[in-house]
Structure 1
Amino acid sequence: MAKAMARHILVKTEAQATALKKRIAAGEAFDLLARQYSTCPSGKRGGDLGEVRPGQMVRAIDQVIFKKALREVHGPVKSQFGYHLVQVFYRD
């Protein structure tokens, strides 16, 4: 079965996610911004979701993790929880 390692930042608004994505693109550390801004419990771990398998995450995030390019920051991606920025490290 497929598996991947990813991290994300979850915030309430698309504008906040877009602003954080710009900060990451300008060189700020993803993990530090996740610790400061993410509303997901994974924020305490720098947004680390660990190793995930298809179907473990909500569909919108699953699509990013298992179909989008590696090591890029994707998003904002809307889910019922808010807006996510997602980065995938590897996929098997």
Structure 2
Amino acid sequence: MKAMAKHILVKTEEEAAGLRQRLDKGEAFDVLAKKFSTCPSGKRGGDLGEVRPGQLVRVIDQVIFKKPVGVIHGPVKSKFGYHLVKVYYRD
């Protein structure tokens, strides 16, 4: 199984919740990722590329491989901070 996902990683739940509201109002995921994400993937608009189960931290892995595709999930807490995750496809 593999999937393609993007994410935004920030330090606080409040920051993630604020970005979630902006995304829900229609702001572009990749633009907000480039501006706010602390993950190196932010430079690529949050693009994690094609991933397989077990490649990412467990909590993010579960979102990518078990939650609905095409919607934004989060804030999701990991040891790195708070994530907003969007899964584009999974097969």
Normalised by the length of structure 1, the TM-score is 0.98
- What does residue 52 of structure 1 align with? 51
Pairwise CA distance, 1:32: 0.2
Distance 1:60 1:15 in 2: 19
> Where does residue 79 of structure 2 map in the other structure?
80
Query: SS of 1:7's equivalent?
Result: strand
**Count of aligned residue pairs for this structure pair:** 91
The amino acid that maps onto 2:16 is: A
Structure 2 match to 1:69? 68
CA distance in 1, matches of 2:26, 2:5: 19
State the partner residue of 1:30.
29
**CA-atom RMSD in angstroms:** 0.3
Shift of 1:53: 0.2
Q: What's the CA shift string for 1:26-70, capped at 9, x where partnerless?
A: 011010000000000000000000000000000000000000001
Q: How many percent identity over aligned positions?
A: 73
Question: What SS class does the counterpart of residue 54 from structure 1 fall into?
Answer: coil
Corresponding residue of 1:8: 7
Structure 1 residue runs without a partner (length 5+): none
- Offset, 1:6: 0.2
SS at match of 1:16: helix
What secondary structure does 1:31 align onto? helix
- Give the superposition deviation at 1:23: 0.1
Q: TM-score, normalised by structure 2?
A: 0.99
